[in-house]
Amino acid sequence: MRNITIFIITLFIFNFSIAQKQYILSKTDGSKIVMDGFISDDEKSVSYKKTVDYEWQPGYNTPAKLETDVFMSYTDEYIYFGVKAYTDPDDIRGQVRPRDEMAMGLNEDIIFLRFDPYLDARSVYLLASNAYGSQSDIRAKQATSDEERYDSSFNAIYETISSINEDGYTVEFLIPFTSIPHPNAEDKVWGFNVTRYFTLEGNGVFTMSDKYDRDNPCRICQIEGRLIMNDVPFKRNTELLPYISSNLSGERVSDGQPIEYGKSKNEFGIGIKYDINSASTAELTINPDFSQIEADETQIDINSAYALQYPELRPYFSRGMDLLNFLDNAFYSRTINSPSISSKITLQDENSSSIILSAVDQKSPYLVGGEDKSYFGEGGISYVNTYRHQRVVGQNTKYGFFTTNRFYEGGGSGNLFGIDGLFTFNKIWKIQFEFIKNFNVEPVANWIDSNDTFSDKTVKLDGEKFSGHANYIRLIRKNENWESIIFYRDISANYRADLGFVPKNNRRWLTISQGFEKLIGSKYLQQYRINVKGD
């Protein structure tokens, strides 16, 4: 009996290892790695070689039509990947582009490296390069839609260099360990796979190092490869970003007279980012300078009764903020409009993730949502706090709670509390929910001038107390061809999110949609989709 038990356990471990595709990398001192766009014999001698064997679109786990070799090794500080993509050089598509402006609509040759450091799809990091060395990166997570799944605000520091030659192209990647948040251990086991995209005979083709189950809509949950790197010491990274600026202006009273200057306007500030460990960071910014941030794209609101929402472009409020993405925008970082000081701590371990954000805002936006229109004003100083904790149980379960608080100088506050979760059953079924409750005390202020009412309250800010709620439940069934969605939303008239963007409330509705998608893969028709939706 004992021998049988040992045999069963051994067989299980063997099968499990085969499914996982372990890539045990060799550690090197880096002396043989030269970033020049070519994979030398020296680089090959210290690298683990992997091939990209499967086509999963338009073919379905069929042998790859073009060969791709991947060479991998690591040092104490970074991971090296050399990717050789074989093809006719005349068929290579792409060009040198600014970062993150690659044609992610997939009209060029691209190599994608996927990393799942926690092996639970909570945060999968995609680092990409086209055939000309242009980079793009994104963070993905287990979610119910592509809009929620992908976070393009993620930016990793890594190096790429490429070359095009007679038998295809080569891309070399040099990725610091500090660029990818990962468990705090010297011996590392990460989920990993490689995807290549190219065009062949007019068709877009994906090849991958793993097989892919189309009936499982969670692609990032299907990373079978295990990147094994042992004895990697933690190297703490500390970033300082100080600035000082001065402005002096004057005018000439009359011709021939000297310019009379006023007092100079001087400003200074500093940003600090400190790695607590390989997965957790602490940040502090004092009097931050956002003057170099890209301007917002113009939006026309002449026919809109509601306030307009703009994307977050400030790096401090983009890094590590994916935990604060909710179905109803219960948190919107741009409501922290003009912080004089702010701190942020992001924490991760094997089973959970958390974020704590605090700030003092000098110009506090105030938004009152309504059934037919919204009302907007700008207040003074406020004190902001946000806390979010999420528990992760494998790839199929995550749940958590969150709170946001805003206290206005001179009186008034907005407090919001919520719980949420996402559960997956039998691969194709998902249920997602958010239940939120708010408690508000209006400031007594003239920030909004209106005689309108909501529920039995006035829109103008006269110190009223009220509470409200917002509830969301979504059920999804999705396989290779069919997608069914039932989405229920209930937002009370008294619901308000002082740190969010909720311009509409007092509504309750049910959405049902049914879609059918078919992959054809012919020269003239790649795929088609039919969708029916009703509210």
Q: What is the pLDDT of residues 216-260, one digit of tens each?
A: 888 889 999 999 999 999 988 898 988 888 888 888 877 778 888
pLDDT in tens, 271-282: 999 999 998 999
User: Does 215 score more than 80 pLDDT?
Assistant: yes
For 15, list phi and psi in degrees, rounded to 5. Answer: -65, -40
User: What pTM was computed for the model?
Assistant: 0.84
Q: What was the pLDDT predicted at 79?
A: 98
Whole-angstrom Cα distance, residue 98 to residue 92?
19
Q: What residues does each domain of the chain span?
A: 18-229, 238-250+264-293+303-534
Contacts of 253 (CB under 8 A, 6+ apart): 260
* Per-residue pLDDT at 196 exceeds 60: yes
Residue 404 has pLDDT above 70, yes or no: yes
pLDDT digits (tens, 9 = 90+) for 293-330: 554 454 445 444 444 566 777 888 888 888 999 988 89
Q: What is the pLDDT of residues 477-520, one digit of tens each?
A: 999 899 999 999 999 999 999 999 999 899 999 999 999 998 77
Mean pLDDT of the chain, nearest integer: 88
Residue 184 DSSP class: S
Contact in structure between 424 and 396 (CB atoms under 8 Å): yes
Indicate the helix (H) or strand (E) that contains 148: helix 146-149
CB atoms within 10 A of CB 345: 18
Share of the chain above pLDDT 90, in %: 63
Predicted local distance difference test score (pLDDT) of residue 148: 77
- The better pLDDT of the pair 303, 35 is held by 35
Average pLDDT over residues 398-414: 96
What CATH class is the domain 18-229?
Answer: mainly beta
Query: What is the rounded distance in angstroms from the CA atom of residue 419 to the CA atom of residue 436?
Result: 7
Position 290 scores a pLDDT of 67
- pLDDT of 344 higher than 90: yes
